Structure 1
Amino acid sequence: MSFQLEAEVAARGFGVSLALAPGETVAVLGPNGAGKSTLLSVAAGLLRPDAGRAVLDGRTLFDLPAGPWLAPHLRGTVLLAQEPLLFPHLSVLDNVAFAPRSAGAGRRSAREAARRWLAEVDALELAGRRPAELSGGQAQRVAVARALAADPQLLLLDEPLAALDVAAAPMLRRLLKRVLAGRRAVIVTHDVLDALMLADRAVVLEDGRITEDGPVRRILERPRSRFAAGLAGLNLVSGTVAGDGLLAADGAGGLTGTTVTGTPDPAAATGQPGIAVFRPAEVSVFAEPVHGSPRNTFAVTVSDVEPQGSHLRVHAGGLYADITVAAAADLDVAPGMALYFSVKATAVEIYPA
């Protein structure tokens, strides 16, 4: 059995179709305002779409506009939010036991289940505490236990690591990797590491639409959206394949009408939509145009300069170059400055969009 969802929310410009196989975890990536929280809210039953249908293991969750609409507690879904949202007046044990109790379990069996799940998230020693006595990482571990104690058919996670400090996040990430193994889940995240460690598959959501869907590593190695390219640390130019190059389209890094020469994938046929990608580290920056071995040279205007490890990242019209501090000083790089980005054709990969 599987989970399938199609939904439209006109006021938010949202229209998504998503399917999950049993035991599959999917990471949802995308910029702010892309519709990630809308997707989770629709799946959880917190937001009623204008039209669509969702089926979970053969059960119809909704079929709109005219069909059924199941209430959130009847769906077999659990939403784990950024904040733990524990009941302050209950102990940790009773917070976790609340889930099976709500499903009709007796007090004794609910507490047994709560102890089992607290042990699973390495938090059994916290059973007698109140939420106010917990650290952020401890509270989120308890929230994970409470979500799993509900035995959901579909677990929905809304950036569960976002509110944690840098010390607590890695521990919870390892915990989630263990407890999500073989479990059907949708995890919304801004962190590429979450997607790599926790998900079998990733989808990129932009402007209320899914623009990419596939294995996490494939999306990061061969992105087809500017957002995914940014996550992967790549420059991306979109356009039309033209022989061993790509004719840049409107909005492609300020290179409209420019031909970007590179190494085309055999599947990239002339005339079809294509993508060119190259790493910022492969880009050299000059004050004057350069020539020589087959290379691309783009006239750019610097928009920003920021630290990037031991280097500086120069932003210019949607393109990026990583250069040494010494090189930046020699050029006296600053926002508003006209420069030239140069990248060898052998460093540019071209493939179908």
Structure 2
Amino acid sequence: MTFRFEATLEARNFDVSLALGPGETLAVLGPNGAGKSTLLSIIAGLLRPDSGRAAIGDRTLFDLAAPKPHWEPPHSRGTALLAQEPLLFPHLSVLENVAFGPRSKGETPTESRKTASGWLAATNTDSLAKRRPGELSGGQAQRVAVARALAAGPDLLLLDEPMAALDIHAAPQMRRLLKRVLENRNAIIITHDILDALMLADHVVVMENGHVTEAGPTREVLNRPRSRFAAGLAGLNVIPGTVTAEGLSTPYGEVSGTSEGPLVHGESATAAFPPSAVSVFLSPPHGSPRNTFEATITDLEPHGHHIRVRAGDLSADITPAAMADLALEPGTRAYFVVKATAVTIYAA
């Protein structure tokens, strides 16, 4: 099912147009105050713009330019909003929380509980069915919230930074869950994390000051950023390649890392790691298992309290003392080294 959206809201300097193809997930990136949450609120029917229209397939959500302006109420839009906080009903069990959506759409109590049980199993939370929200960890509650959103059978799932409130252990688990349940499903996810976009989204939209400043396929936007914000995100080293028995075959050679999901031998995948995890040497290092990339320095620039060393598409952050000790300058041949534990490999 396709999704088309265009709206303006003068009071917030908001003017956005976007579209999703059937079964696509769109990641919306941008700094605080860019208008990302405003976008979801308008789509969900919680905020009325000054003008515009939106449609899911043949069903119009709103059309404010029609001779008789149309505004579909939130409960009949076929959308489900998953916020940063789970917002579960505290007086209901996990099972009854998830059954709430199907029941509100006309299912009998027995039918709605059966639907809920299926989604609890799909999100690996079926063992929590009898608990109350107050008895759940943050990660458990957010996974239940995903089950509740999906149980309502939405045509479009809206996710507002679903990993923002999770700790470093729960976030990867949630990311793997979303990768599975969002497959072939229309969804829009707001995130500040480039890894969320790379793992979950087919396309990316970058918003700044209430406007779309960049849009396109995820890898294309993040590998060749044109907007200021996307350029900042692109500080993450991203290397495409092909899955092998040892890891990933790339233009830089074999890359080892940790996978956040299953990888299929021979298929495309991507390795990602931050510049802060990279060490720079003038000769090949020895020791514990590491990934080593031979490269020529192209640029040196201040980056906070460090120096960002660029070598084409690769970058490393080192201290000024280390740069002086290495006597780095554009044209220097060097070795960028990163431990396998700092590299994440995910299916493309």
Is the shorter-chain TM-score for this pair beyond 0.5, marking a shared fold?
Answer: yes
State the structure with more CA Rg. 1
Q: What letter matches 1:16 in structure 2?
A: V
> Which of 173, 187, 190 matches 1:188?
190
Work out whether 1:326 is the aligned partner of 2:328: no
CA distance in 2, matches of 1:139, 1:218: 34
1:130 counterpart = 2:132: yes
1:81-160 paired onto structure 2 within 5 Å: 81-160=83-162
Q: How far apart in 2 are the matches of 1:78 and 1:227?
A: 28
Q: CA deviation at 1:327?
A: 3.1
* 1:6 maps to 2:6: yes
SS at match of 1:78: strand
Q: TM-score, normalised by structure 1?
A: 0.71
Q: Which runs of 5+ in 1 are unaligned?
A: 235-278, 284-294, 307-311, 315-319, 332-340, 346-353
**What TM-score do the two structures reach when normalised by structure 2?**
0.72
Over 3 Å counting, the alpha-carbon distance change for 1:115 and 1:327 in structure 2 is same
Q: 1:48 to 1:343 in 2, by over 3 A?
A: farther
Kindly indicate whether the alpha-carbon contact (under 8 Å) linking 1:305 and 1:313 is maintained by their aligned counterparts in 2: no
The number of residue pairs the alignment matches comes to 276
* CA apart distance, 1:207: 0.9
SS of the aligned residue for 2:41 comes to: helix
Aligned pairs (5 A) from 1:166-205: 166-205=168-207
CA contact (8 A) 2:5 2:54 kept: yes
Who is 1:47 aligned against?
A: 47
Measure how far apart 1:220 and its partner are.
1.3
What is the alpha-carbon distance in structure 2 between the residues aligned to residue 86 and residue 321 of structure 1?
A: 43
CA distance in 1, matches of 2:72, 2:129: 33
C-alpha contact (below 8 Å) 2:29/2:36 kept by paired residues: yes
The RMSD of aligned alpha carbons is 3.2
Instruction: State the alpha-carbon separation in 1 of the partners of residues 234 and 303 from structure 2.
Output: 21
Deviation at 1:104, TM superposition (A): 1.3
Q: Which residue of 2 aligns with 1:223?
A: 225
Contact 2:53 2:65 in 1 (8 A): no
Letter in 2 for 1:154: L
Q: CA deviation at 1:211?
A: 1.0
- Kept in 2: contact 1:3–1:20 (CA 8 A): yes
Match in the other structure for 1:22: 22
Does residue 61 of structure 2 align to residue 61 of structure 1?
yes
Assess, with a 3 A threshold, how the Cα gap between structure 1 residues 19 and 303 changes in structure 2: closer, same or farther: closer
CA shift for structure 1 position 35: 0.6
Q: Provide the C-alpha distance between the structure 2 equivalents of 1:208 and 1:101, rounded to a whole number of angstroms.
A: 37
Matched residue SS, 1:122 = coil
- Contact kept, 8 Å, 2:305 with 2:319, in 1: the verdict is no
The letter of the residue matching 1:123 is T
Q: Unaligned regions of 5+ residues in structure 2, if any?
A: 237-274, 281-296, 310-314, 333-348
Counting aligned pairs with the same residue, the percent is: 66
**Secondary structure, counterpart of 2:48 in structure 1:** coil
Q: Secondary structure at the match of 1:86?
A: coil
Post-superposition CA distance 1:92-129 (Å, at most 9, x none): 00000001011111100000000000000000000000
Q: How far did residue 297 of structure 1 move?
A: 8.7
Would you identify which runs of 4 or more consecutive aligned residues in structure 1 move more than 6 Å? 295-298
